[in-house]
Amino acid sequence: MSEAKATIKNIALAGHAGSGKTTLFEALLYQKKITERFGKVADGNTVSDYTAEEIKRKSSVYTTVASIENENLKVNLLDTPGMFDFAGEMTEGIYASDCVMITVSGKSGVRVGTHKAYNTAVKLQKPRMFVVTKLDDENANFYNVLTELKSEFGPTVCPVVVPVIADRKIVSYVNLIEMKAYRYDENGVAVETEMPTAEVSEKMSYRIDGLVEAFSEAVAETDEELFEKFFSGEPFTQKERIDGIHKGIREGIITPVTCVSSLTLAGVDMLCKEMDLLIPSAETTQTVLNSDDELEEISCTEQDPLCAVVFKTMADPFVGKLSFIKVCSGKLISGMDVVNSNDGTTEKIGKLYYLCGKKQIEISEALCGDIVAATKLNASTNDTLCSSSRLVKFVSPDYPNPCYSMAVKPASRGEEAKISSAMQKLLEEDKTITYKQDELTKEQILSGLGEQHINAVVSRLQSDFGVNVLLNVPKIAYRETIRKKVKVQGRYKKQSGGHGQYGDVWIEFEPCLSDTLVFEEKIFGGAVPKNFFPAVEKGLQDSVKKGVLAGFPVVGLKAILVDGSYHPVDSSEMSFKTAASLAYKEGMKIAEPALLEPIGNLLVSVPDDNTGDIMGELNKRRGRVLGMNPSSEKGMTEVVAEVPMREMSDFALLLRQMTQGQGVFSLTPLRYEQLPSNLVAEVIVSANSEE
């Protein structure tokens, strides 16, 4: 294929987990003879799911790139994961695409993942089409799924390829663009056959007529001249049908529906035709931010200055960092100097590769619109690489926020630095995980999109970086305080050979509103010299790090130094510091100490049908529902509540189960409240056992 004359299209495959994305990906590669064998997910030999983690899970975890080519067309396919825990990978794949093919199982129909893929494509302003898969399954029903798609996604849904069904079996497929029917032999080879009649199926003639009418109406909506032709009853030519659908997809007013049986290859050749004829190419304008942070459009032409975006990063312990790059204008050449417009640095492009799963094919240059990989770049995901003559930046996509957290510690001592180094590489790769130390509990907290996401990260740490870690539920950052005012003495006297130690203080302790110790002095007549005041305060500051109930830091405490005595020879800063700590221990015991628990502000968006269930669940978790607001997303309600943080460790898993993955939430620390008395003993025992 002549690169200079090639039309390039980038197509992301997205959809619910198990809807047939990877099998369709394999079928397209096999159909175009890119692969010699048809890989199967169950056998662990697919081009797409090649990592140890994916083979073990028998499902996609990472976005994979491969290409199919004709004489004048190159299609880069991006197979994205459907599991919600790996939604960040789906976002990256859709972000780099020019169109999104959303797979829908002919057996199970529209699922939550279908909506998530569709909504992400809409948010990123990508054209969309549906592919109904698994039509070889005896329980598949294309027309039920088509009705469901129209109901869920509106009148833009337009069938393009439909099956002809007789005696509950597919006998042929009708291409409504060509107005021809094809049947497939056991090798998946298409043979043209007669268009269906009423004899084939009792309702088929009516059904086909209705589908043709709906298809023609959708085409007519794309152009005034076509509308007039349709209104006059004149049939469209094949070119008019193709041009109408192509324009409709690009403008988002038509969402075509086609169908395949990937395992038997039935319909795959027609899908290749639709990809060729209907789906927009990369030769479109894109919106970027210029040096003044103003929106600007750039064209995908080879003559323009280079503009490319790093849409994905892979951390390989052997090869190093592998950056996936989409060239949006100009030409990317191995060895050229480029400017990273996100941080202003200049770096040299190393080796460039085309990818086919894990297979890498070295190239010298990549033209605008193409997707390549580069090794050993310093650039991070979502960084823009430019020519120095035109500095622009792409707007980064929004990623799902981490919602499930676990505390991480090494399985063996002394491996903290090794874990930190490995995690830094994984953080570059995955924008939906965080790894940081909790300032209050001092634990290292790993956060992700769910339990499987966290387990995948732990598996990578072990297999790729040789680090074994243990996961625990994160500790709750309890606090201690007092509930009444007391006055106590702290007296420290020690006599030995030479100078002794003597310090004597009277301190009033009282509750206050403060996260730190409030210290005052009200000494009259020099009972304690001023030069010992800092020592008294230091003794108290060290003491409040541990409370008397369970050893948690103390808050809401005010200490007033009111009296004391000293010895002209034996008194020292150390003796007054010790005296202050003795006063603290005595005072805390009699000032009605109490445990405080952190309360969080919860915003949870759930389907309308689940609002009652979620409110009942929050009540079980000692939460207080403050109100409900209509969500910006159709059919969703936002519930606002205040909940104890100790009750929320597994909330992400429960919410996903309760709402089939539709619910999302954010939880932010709000304040501290007194822990109920029935839970105090449990917390004290737990804290003592950890020590």
Task: From 51, 43, 47, select the one nearest 21 (Cα to Cα).
Answer: 47
Detail the DSSP E strand segments found in 228-319.
255-259, 286-289, 295-298, 307-316
Residues 75 and 68: beta-carbon distance below 8 Å: yes
Cα-flanking dihedrals φ and ψ of residue 118, to 5°?
-65, -45
Tokens of 631: 């969500």
Kindly calculate the radius of gyration of the chain based on its CA atoms and give it in whole angstroms. 33
What pLDDT is recorded for position 1?
Answer: 39
Tokens of 479: 């606090």
Task: From 315, 358, 268, select the one nearest 65 (Cα to Cα).
Answer: 358
Which positions ≥6 away from 588 have C-beta within 8 Å? 480, 482, 509, 547, 548, 554
Long-range contacts of 78-82 (CB under 8 A, 24+ apart): 78/10, 78/11, 78/12, 78/13, 78/371, 79/13, 79/21, 79/22, 79/25, 79/48, 80/12, 80/13, 80/14, 80/21, 81/17, 82/14, 82/15, 82/16, 82/17, 82/18, 82/19, 82/21, 82/113, 82/117
Query: For the packed helices 611-620 and 651-659, what is the interaxial angle rounded to 10 degrees?
Result: 160
Tokens of 110: 């529209």
3-state helix, strand, coil in the chain (%, to 5): 30, 35, 35
Buried/exposed 190-217: b ≥16 CB within 10 Å, e otherwise? beebeebeeebbeebeebbeebbebbbe
Entry pTM? 0.88
What pLDDT is recorded for position 560?
Answer: 94
Distance CA 356, CA 686 (A): 52
Helix, strand, or coil here: 162?
strand
- DSSP class of residue 280? -
What pLDDT is recorded for position 204?
Answer: 57
pLDDT digits (tens, 9 = 90+) for 78-132: 999 999 999 999 999 999 999 999 999 999 999 999 999 999 999 999 999 999 9
Q: Report strand pairing: 444-448 vs 404-410.
A: antiparallel
- List the Cα angle 645/558/642 in 5-degree steps: 20
Buried/exposed 113-125: b ≥16 CB within 10 Å, e otherwise? bbbbbbebbeebe
What pLDDT is recorded for position 498?
Answer: 63
Buried/exposed 468-490: b ≥16 CB within 10 Å, e otherwise? ebeeeebbbbbbbbbeeebbbeb
Residues of the chain under the 50 pLDDT cut: 1-5
Distance CA 417, CA 422 (A): 9
- List the Cα angle 623/625/627 in 5-degree steps: 160
Distance CA 129, CA 100 (A): 6
CA distances, 66 to each of 30, 60, 360, 376, 380 (Å): 12, 14, 10, 21, 22
What pLDDT is recorded for position 478?
Answer: 94
What pLDDT is recorded for position 497?
Answer: 60
pLDDT digits (tens, 9 = 90+) for 458-486: 999 998 888 999 999 999 999 999 999 99
Detail the DSSP E strand segments found in 449-524.
469-472, 479-482, 486-494, 501-511, 518-521
What pLDDT is recorded for position 200?
Answer: 57
Cα-flanking dihedrals φ and ψ of residue 72, to 5°?
-130, 20
What pLDDT is recorded for position 203?
Answer: 54
What pLDDT is recorded for position 224?
Answer: 84
Q: What domains appear along the chain, each with residue ranges and CATH number?
A: 3-277 (3.40.50.300), 295-386 (2.40.30.10), 404-472 (3.30.70.870), 479-591 (3.30.230.10), 596-690 (3.30.70.240)
- DSSP class of residue 311? E
What pLDDT is recorded for position 589?
Answer: 93
What pLDDT is recorded for position 201?
Answer: 54
What pLDDT is recorded for position 319?
Answer: 72
Residues 259 and 182: beta-carbon distance below 8 Å: no
What pLDDT is recorded for position 47?
Answer: 92
